[in-house]
Structures are given as C-alpha cells and as structure tokens.
Copies of this chain bind each other. A is one copy, B any other.
C-alpha cells in the first residue's frame, strides 16, 4: 500500500486554492492522491462487505469495486466532458485486461512455466466481455449508420442498451454469487487479505465515507485540470484520459492482481482484471448514461468514438483467445502488453478531432 502518497491529498487541495493556475502541478498531485485513496476505498468496501456476510458482501464488492472510477466519471459528467468520460471508461476497460492482466501473466510466468485456471469460470467471463464489447460497438455503429444523424433515437437507443447491459450484469451477479458460486471460490480478494486485521463496521463505514468524500473532491480538481495539463504535456485530452487517468485509477487492482499471479493464483488474478473491466462496461458505463439524463447538461449516449470501439473490440478479442485454453505463459502476457502499447501509440498520435464524435 502506497499510503504515504496520501501526502498529496493536502498538496492538491492547497495548490488548487493558492495556485489555481498551476494546472500541470495540480494534475500530477491529483493523480498521485487518487492512487492511495482508491486503495483505501477498496479496502474499506471489503471490510464493510466482510461484516455484511457472504451474499450481500459479494454484492457490495462487485458493485463498489470501481467506485473511484465512477466518482471521477461523475465529476467529468457534471461538466459535460463526455469525451473525457468515455476516454477514461475505455482506458479502464482496456487497461485492466491488457495492462493489469498482461503484467500479471508476465510476472507469474517468470516464476511458473505454465499457469492454469478454471476455464469454465474464465470462459463465462470472456463471453460476458464479448457481450460488453457488443454493447459498446453497436451504439457507435448506429451513430455512423443512421445517415441523417438525429439525437433523439440515439439517446433512446443508448438508454435501452444501458438497461440491457445492467440486466446482464445482474445476471452475472446471480450466477457468480448464487447459482454457480463454487466456480468463483478462492477468487474473492478477501482470501488474499486474511492476514489483515478486521476493522469494526463503524470504522469501515467511516473510512469508506471519508475516502469517498476525498476522492470526489480530488476528482473534481483532477477533471478541472485535465485540459490544461494535457496541453502542457503536448498530449491530447483523450490520451491523458485513456492511458494516464486509467493507470492511476486502477493502481490498486494492479498490485493485487500481480501479487496473486506471482503466487500462481491465476483465477484470482484473472477475476480481478476481467471482473474490473466487466464492472466498468456493464455497470459503470450504463449507470453513467442513465445518470446523465439527470445530472449532465444534456443526455450522454453510449456512442464511443471509432478508435475507442476498435481498441475495446481488439482487446476483448485477444483476451478471449488468451483465456480460451485455460492456461497462460509469459509469452501470452507480453502479447497482451504489446497490444496495449500499440493502442497507446495510436491514442498518442490520434488528433483530438478524430477521437471525439
């Protein structure tokens, strides 16, 4: 746990108040603050889940596991920065399955020649990942196919598909927490944390609330500085959203998944990486679409940019193939990373105009 990074929380807030024009420093400090806050938020969620018992606890973990991303996205949503929202969702989806899982497979593969995992559970998650990709490909295709582009059917379509994706996520929860929970046992992050002391429910809820409040605050500052910081770095806002913000937001998942892979717990590692991507695509993205009808300046649709859709589609394709045979080795890990680097290069060079609708 990089708890000492918490020092950047007051630094960020201080900069925002006393040096509001130092966008680059504010952005960097905000990024560094999110890392430990997201970790603490995750830990507090698990502790609350522990008190809630197996069923509800699993549900809490599965629902709030990406609370940090959700909060960041809501901050961007309120300002109508829909391109940034979609970029950071895309970045989370591809970052978890390519970067987090890729590094895990390489790290695990250096210690263990071949690593195996339960292919039934992995296959179920890979199919869900394909469904999630379809749910994001289709609205983008629709955007291009309807010749006289009109906003009304696109919002209706986005809302309808969001509901279908939420139902699919709900079905997945029933499957993994209830009807087929055996398949997923040993996959909960709790097993990994057993040595840690158990917090009292009060303490857990208090920490959860405090971390949420701070993340919300820092997210707003982060989102406010993205535009200027990107310009200062000579990067596009989209690149910062897809690559930089996503790496920051998923740092906690990252370290847990890599540690699990090194201990040859590939089910756990795969579950964390893919589960996180699924949560973003099937829970966070649809929720944001629905929320945008209430809190944004105008409804957000589900139509991601062509580059984002292609990135998600290709990531899901190769992850499905890697997972299909139920075993991994270091070479497959490097291939996931190679795809991540190729996509990062594209987002780096892609002009701003091409990455938004």
Contacts and interface: CB of A to CB of B under 8 A. Distances in A.
Interface of A: 113-114, 119-120, 123-124, 126-128, 130-131, 134-135, 137-138, 141-142, 145-148, 153, 156-157, 160-161, 164-165, 167-168, 171-172, 175, 179-180, 306-307, 310, 314, 317-318, 320-322, 324-325, 327, 329-332, 334-335, 338-339, 341-343, 345-346, 349-351, 353-355
Given A138-B342, A350-B146, A171 B334 contact: yes
A354 B145 contact: yes
B130 A342 contact: no
B339 A134 contact: yes
9 contacts: A120-B327, A123-B321, A124-B332, A130-B321, A137-B310, A138-B346, A148-B353, A167-B338, A171-B335
Given A148-B353, A153-B351, A168-B335, 14 more contacts: A120-B325, A124-B329, A134-B339, A137-B310, A138-B342, A142-B350, A145-B355, A147-B354, A157-B346, A161-B342, A164-B338, A165-B338, A175-B331, A324-B325
Given A123-B324, A145-B307, A349 B156 contact: yes
A314 B306 CA distance: 16
A53 B124 CA distance: 41
Contacts of A119: 325
A349 B123 CA distance: 32
B353 A147 contact: yes
> Which of A180, A329, A342 has the most chain B CB atoms inside 10 A of its CB?
A342
Contacts of A137: 310, 314
Contact of A330 (B123, B175, B331, B343): B175
Contacts of A345: 157, 160-161, 164
A275 to B, nearest CB: 14
Given A307-B145, A318-B130, A172 B124 contact: no
Contact of A350 (B145, B164, B322): B145
> Which of A135, A314, A338 has the most chain B CB atoms inside 10 A of its CB?
A338
